[in-house]
Structure 1
Amino acid sequence: MSETKLTGDTFELYCDVVGNPTPEIQWWYAEINRADSFKQLWDGARKRRVSINTAYGVNRVSVLGITRLTLEDSGTYECRASNDPKRNDLRQNPATTWIRAQATISVLQSEWSMSCST
């Protein structure tokens, strides 16, 4: 779900997928108005503010968390899931082997941080 947060806040996004074999999950990010420039996120990115926790079982659940939000964290976050054995083959078109779900996070300047900086 898309959300609006304040600077300094935390958010979590959940991705729950089912498939046989169990799908791989990846998290990606694109800046606002830059949907053509997705970059993959990893655990510990953005000065250790990004955490990615994945649980395995009959289905796979992955949670993306980002702490101490900044204005630069605004954008589109995408969960990609695939169990296609050729999903990472660079000769294949990845659009045909990944299922995608997106949420937009808008980060606004908090009043508290504005009053502290003046």
Structure 2
Amino acid sequence: MGEYEPKIEVHFPYTVTAAKGSTIRMECFALGNPVPTISWRKVNGPTPSKGRLRKSQAVLEIPNVQLEDAGTYECKAENSRGRNVFRGQLQVYTYPHWVDRLNDTQLDSGDQLRWECKATGKPRPTYHWLKNGVSFLQESRIEMVNGVLMIHSVNQSD
């Protein structure tokens, strides 16, 4: 067939999404003659030192992914006839984690209830308020803004 430059035939998706603490594998396989060598790098920062190369460097495996591992990764296939490059993004998310939790509360009829929940996570968590497993009905005396629930003038039904 003669010599020809590398052509990346199989590559990881343009966007790889992973949960913090998981293991990810990004593949980059190229054809070429002579057989191309594959190299990896993180474009904007150091490639994680815990990263391991598998299958003749065609797979970059990163165990225990952390937020700082997120970024653009590049695989490069090279031989004496040329090179080919593929880039994709690694996005790392974290599950919501409670920072502030609710406490049981007893109030007199007519008092105001103010409960606030706070959670961290990536992407930023959104909040949904439920009463006995059912979404609150919007009323003039009930306000729900992000992690804050306010009930003006509580009554027995609350």
TM-score (norm 2): 0.48
Determine whether 1:5 maps to 2:1.
Answer: no
- Compare the two structures and name the one with the higher strand fraction: 2
In 1: Cα distance, 2:79 partner to 2:28 partner: 15
In 1: Cα distance, 2:92 partner to 2:98 partner: 17
Q: Which of structures 1 and 2 has the bigger CA Rg?
A: 2
Which structure is higher in RCO with an 8 Å CA cutoff and minimum separation 6? Answer: 1
Determine whether 1:67 maps to 2:63.
Answer: yes
Q: Which amino acid aligns with 1:15?
A: C
Identity, in percent, stands at: 29
Aligned to 1:99: 84
Q: Residue 104 of structure 1 aligns to a residue in which SS?
A: strand
Alignment partner of 1:26 out of 16, 39, 56: 39
Alignment partner of 1:109 out of 83, 94, 105: 94
Alignment partner of 2:78 out of 61, 76, 82: 82
Could you list the structure 1 runs, at least 4 aligned residues long, displaced by more than 2 angstroms after superposition.
Answer: none
Q: Residue 72 of structure 1 aligns to a residue in which SS?
A: helix
- Compare the two structures and name the one with the higher helix fraction: 1
Runs of 5+ unmatched residues, structure 1: 32-37, 56-60, 86-96
TM-score (norm 1): 0.63
Runs of 5+ unmatched residues, structure 2: 1-12, 100-119, 121-158
User: Root-mean-square deviation (CA), in Å?
Assistant: 2.4
